[in-house]
Structure 1
Amino acid sequence: MRRVLLIGCGEVGAKHADALTRADGLDLVAVADPSPVAKPPSGVPLVAGWEMALKEYAPDVVVVATPPGSALVAARAAARTGAVVLVEKPATLTPADLRPAEEEDRRIYVAFQPHFAPGLAWLLSQTPTARRAAVRLVCRRDRGYYRDWRTRYATAGGILHQQAIHGLALALRLLPPGPVRSSTAEVRRVRQWGESEDRVTATVLFESGAVLTVEARVDSDEPRSHDVTLHLDGGQELHVRGRNLEIGLGRPHSAPDDRALRLAMYRALPDDAGPLHPCLFPLSELRRTLEVIDHAYRTARTVPEGRTAS
């Protein structure tokens, strides 16, 4: 039985707490959060500081579900103890934080549970090359979502960090390696809730010749969806579908729910035996995703309500 410490018990941390109490082979020994939004599961102690919790409980696995400003610091500290660490995306907003990679980073993985959707383990194990990829996100986030740390870009990032990153990270694992050549992006802020945006569109060109397009909006009344279309070498086209990619390459009626995907993600965490699961996302691979997101935002033109692009 592997001992698990959960750092952070907000909206996302509560989902991890629920799933961890149902995970075979894992024992949630404590939750660390000075100001928890949700109560820890019954019988699980709450500790104010994660530094003390790491020493007191000596966990084998640490799940970090805190905002980007503190997530990477906590994850690296946990990894230095020898624990395997799963950190919620985006972990950090700054690509330079991951360059060069720290030694402890090899024990840290990024929490992308939709990557465990049906068919994606097979797809990633085949390592096909996509020359074009399209990421589309449609959902609605209302004012209540943009509170506290989510109100500012510096503490939360934007739609591409918080919402569309699941699809972006998947697409970029399959596009050929290489730096960004150019990008054209547009950010629309209509509702004016803090620094959050309502819609981002972008076309990113890579020096390899690959093309990534993104359309992500969080002000839509359409049915929620987040999907990735991949155009592979040889002309094959694949569609990863779902409210949040969870259908994968499978059938809609058999798509797993969020808890099932989290449980699959926990099962994939390595214990120093056997090959790495193809769906696990190493922290070092996150750097490219953050670089693409950063490039798109830095070159974007902003369109406020009732104004022309500037």
Structure 2
Amino acid sequence: MEDGTTIRMGLIGLGSMGRHHARVIREVEGMDLVAVADPYGDKHGVAGPLPVLPDVEALIGEGIDAAMVAVPTYLHEEVALALAEAGVHTMVEKPIAATAESGERVARAFEEAGLVGAVGYVERCNPALREMRRRIEAGELGEVYQITTSRQGPFPARIADVGVVKDLATHDIDLTAWIAQSPYVSVAGQVTHRSGREHEDMVVATGQLESGIIVSHIVNWLSPRKVRETVATGENGSFVANTLSGDLTFVANGDVRSEWDGVSVFRGVSEGDSIRYAIARREPLRVEQEGFRDALWGRDSDIVSMADGVHTLKVVEAVLESAATDRTITL
């Protein structure tokens, strides 16, 4: 599309994520929400003057340029393939599909059609994580040794059609590979089922990236404490991102030498100065839609590619396979 032309947007899925996308698409300069669809109607009342269409075919029939897909995960492939066939640029909410195999079919369809295909991993648009990635890329940590994430909290009110690994850990796997700019090569996981549902509700996963960085993820929805933290540790110290507040803190390795004989021989690090960076806090979902718009206009844009979406899903499936077989999975 030509830079600056208005993008006729369609939205399918008006549930817990779709309602936010409806608002944000209407706010983004250069986007015009012209059609919405959901076979179950508009329970959050976001359609406004637009008729609520029954399916993806009706959405395509409105002559849209691009679409946002926010239907349940098991429908992602069917809806995305219909949009690809119709020549509609598309962003699919995470994960790209229900399985990596399904995701590969979606990614291939958009690539072969020469369309912009993106996945909605909104955490990449969190101000603290964007700043962390920028500073790591600028060499401020020196060599990165380890990235750890913790995403814990109470059970979500929305009914999920998947367990905690595909619903939540998928965010951490995506953002870790993105921050490090390196894919996963191995992963191991342990899960537990404590809430009486068929899907897992707690996971602890560890892994290694191609670059040699070691990683760990703690994810659950059975904790009364809400935690959203990503920590990158390297030769110069640690970056700590609190993605609930959007804060980024740098804790430097100290250079104060210990007087105490017992520890002076230990060649480790000590705690140095801490800096909390002042960051402009823009709404991540809006940043995400602006990135999609820029990609459609042919501008430089850091959207999550469908290939990235497939890689993340392969890692997610490997975590579940590891937990089921009690062995480390090499990707």
Shorter chain as denominator, the TM-score bin is 0.7 to 0.9
2:305 to 279, 282, 293: 282
1:223-242 alignment runs, 5 A limit:
224-232=226-234, 234-242=235-243
Deviations 1:194-223 (A, max 9, x none): 21333111112456533221101111111x
1:248–1:26: structure 2 CA closer, same or farther, 3 Å change rule? Answer: farther
Paired residues of 2:7 and 2:65 also in contact (CA < 8 A): yes
1:62-81 alignment runs, 5 A limit:
62-81=67-86
1:202–1:30: structure 2 CA closer, same or farther, 3 Å change rule? Answer: same
Q: Does 1:132 align with 2:146?
A: yes
1:262 to 266, 273, 285: 285
Cα distance between partner residues in 1 of 2:319 and 2:67: 32
What SS does structure 1 have at the residue aligned with 2:44?
coil
* Alignment TM-score, normalising by the size of structure 2: 0.75
Unaligned runs of 5+ in 2: 1-5, 138-142, 250-275, 326-331
Structure having the higher Rg: 2
Q: Displacement, 1:238?
A: 2.0
Q: Displacement, 1:119?
A: 5.4
Identify the residue that residue 197 of structure 1 maps to in structure 2: 200
Paired residues of 2:131 and 2:248 also in contact (CA < 8 A): no
Cα distance between partner residues in 2 of 1:111 and 1:274: 18
Identify the residue that residue 305 of structure 1 maps to in structure 2: none
Q: Displacement, 1:122?
A: 5.4
Paired residues of 1:189 and 1:198 also in contact (CA < 8 A): yes
Paired residues of 1:68 and 1:93 also in contact (CA < 8 A): yes
Q: Percent identity?
A: 21
1:109-188 alignment runs, 5 A limit:
109-118=118-127, 120-121=129-130, 124=133, 128=137, 130-141=144-155, 144-146=157-159, 150=160, 156-175=161-180, 177=182, 180-183=185-188, 185-188=189-192
Q: Displacement, 1:131?
A: 3.9
Identify the residue that residue 249 of structure 1 maps to in structure 2: 248
* Amino acid of the structure 1 residue aligned with 2:241: V
Q: Does 1:271 align with 2:296?
A: yes
Cα distance between partner residues in 2 of 1:94 and 1:130: 31
Q: Displacement, 1:9?
A: 0.9
Q: Displacement, 1:7?
A: 0.6
